[in-house]
Every structure is written in C-alpha cells, then in structure tokens.
Amino acid sequence: MNLSVLGAFRPVLAPAAILLAAVLALAAGPALPPSLSGLKTLGPYLVLLLGTGMGAWFNRGRAFIALASLLAAFAGYSLAHEFGATGFAARATYTAAAILVPLNFLLALVFPERGVSHHFNYRWLMLAVAEILFAAWIASAGRSSLSGTVWQDLLAHWLLRSPPTPLLGRLLFAAAFIAAAARALPTGPARETRPLDIGLAGALVAFFIACEWVYTPGAFGAFMTAAGAILLVSLLQESHRLAFRDELTGLPSRRALEERLHALGPVHAIAMLDVDHFKKFNDTHGHDIGDEVLRLVATRLARLPGGGTAHRYGGEEFCILFPGLK
C-alpha cells in the first residue's frame, strides 16, 4: 500500500519540492552578502532564460510558450517596478501579467502540441508582440498622449482590480490549472503521467503564489524562479520519458530494456512473445486497428502478476523481465 501511494504521488514530488524550497527560502529570509545580492534579480532571469532556451532546443511548444510568458511577465514587472512599486505602471503591468500569463497557458494547453517551429507559428509570435505592446500601452497611461488616462479608471473595475490577483486573472488561473491537471491524468496501458503536463500545473501554482504575494519582499522573484525551475525539471523528465518509453504502447522501450539487462542479477527470468499473424492482420484491417491491438496487448502485459516488467521490443514483439525469479 505504501509503495502504491508513493507511486501515485511520485510525479508531483519534484514540483512540490521546488515550491517548498521557495517557501522555506522566503521564510528563512537570510540577507545575501553584497557580492551575491544580484542573484535576487538575476536568478529568475537565468532560470527563465535557460528554460525558454531548452524549450526551443527540445522543440516543446507548450513549455516554450509558458516559459516565454513567464520571462516576459517578470521582465515587464521588473521594468515597471523602477517607476515605483505602488505606481500605476507597476500595477498595470502586474494586472496584465496576472491575466495574460494564465491565458497563454490555457491557449497552449487547448491547442495540440506542434513544437516550437511549425507552420503558422507566426501566430504565436504575433500574439506575444501584441500582448507586450498592449501591456506597455496601458502601463504608460497618463505618461503618453497616445494612452490617455482612461485605463487608470478601467483598471479600478472590480473585475480587474489588483493586487492581489484580479478576479479575471483568478478565473483564468483556475481554467488553465484544470486544463493542465486534466492532461496530467494517467493515460495509456502503463497508466503513466506526463511530466510536462504536471510541470505546467506546478508552474501555474508557483506563478499564482507570486502574484498573490507580490508585495512580500522577495516573494515575486522567488516564486517566478520556482515556476521556471519546475518547468525546467519537467522538460528534463519529459525528455527522459520520450527516450525510455514507447509512445504507442506506453511500455518501457527497447532502450530501457537494454539498460535493465545490464543491471540484472544472477537470478532472473526473461520471456519473449509476439502477436501471431500480425502483418496479415495489419494488411486486412489497417494499421490503425493494428495499433489498437498492440495497445490492448500492452495493457494486459502491464498488469502481469509476479513482478514482471513488460517492454516493447519492437514491432509486435514484447519482452518481459522477472528479476529474482528462477
């Protein structure tokens, strides 16, 4: 029972540990020496820039959009903060970030994953430019003849009033978190969770805390760093999953099998099996139905008693390892 409970909570351990570390660091609050004081500002930039770069390098569209949105929000609020922590520019930028970041998360989760570089990718770029220009326009209200002062009254509306997080932002946070949590539910024969979907949900929680505690010294930077770190770790976990997990069946792949074979003790059993006449079945019923057959077989093999672990060896062939079994 304890192992099953641990297995159920294992996917959320990394995001939870990062959030806990941010809370403890904020609670302890030791003053950094002057030589390291710049980390409070540079730390979030470094983590978010590294994560955005890795999202682009690994061609993970959702992670890239989420990290780029967080980076733009932190940079924009830091810039506006220079005009005064309680000034209109900081409040307007904060309100825009609290609304647009969860909106971008939600849009990225609703649309299918197509990577960073794909056809019509310019739409995301145009949306990002439009959001940045719109937020800058609102933040300059009263400072520029182009913006006027109407935004100062509009942002006092009950739906947009902030901080803490405006009601519209809270609604978007809730919708984006539900979408991320729904995608993070275990799927496939192995009932596995996708680390990146859990990372998106965890980053949303971290960003929400950052918005709620924006006036707590150091909190905004700490939890923006936590949001970036959660997505960074989830990207690494997702890359490991793609390398060692068969995407069609959800079983460990041949690469995972080869690594486990090197680690087997002297007492073990290995079973090989395949689906009879699978090529003829594919030719008769089509490859889509053949894929469903492989998933059905994998579902049965994933629930084998006796401690065996099934792997997809290739095609319609499977291998089952029984460590410690004679």
Q: Own/partner pairs for 106-110, CB < 8 Å, 24+ apart?
A: 106/172, 106/175, 106/176, 106/179, 107/65, 108/61, 108/62, 108/65, 108/66, 108/200, 109/62, 109/176, 109/179, 109/180, 109/183, 109/200, 110/179
Locus of tokens 């400072």: 143
pTM of the model: 0.80
CA distance 298 to 316: 10
For residue range 182-205, list pLDDT tens digits in order. Answer: 888 776 555 667 888 899 999 999
Report the Cα–Cα distance between both ends of the chain, in Å, rounded. 26
Q: Is the pLDDT reported for residue 231 higher than 90?
A: yes
Q: Which of 195, 192, 174 is nearest to 60 (CA)?
A: 195
Structure token digits, residue 315 = 């095609």
Q: What strands lie across the sheet with 317-323, from one edge to the other?
A: 268-274, 317-323, 309-314
For residue range 136-161, list pLDDT tens digits in order. Answer: 777 776 555 555 566 677 777 778 88
Residue type at 147 in one-letter notation: S
CA distance 320 to 39: 49
Residue 160 sits at φ, ψ, to 5 deg, of -115, 0
Per-residue pLDDT band for 135 (boundaries 50, 70, 90) equals: confident
For residue range 294-325, list pLDDT tens digits in order. Answer: 888 888 888 877 778 888 888 888 988 888 77
Specify the pLDDT at position 119. 60
For residues 276, 277, 283 and 289, what is the CA-based torsion angle, rounded to 10 degrees?
-20
Q: Which of 120, 100, 223, 222 is nearest to 162 (CA)?
A: 100
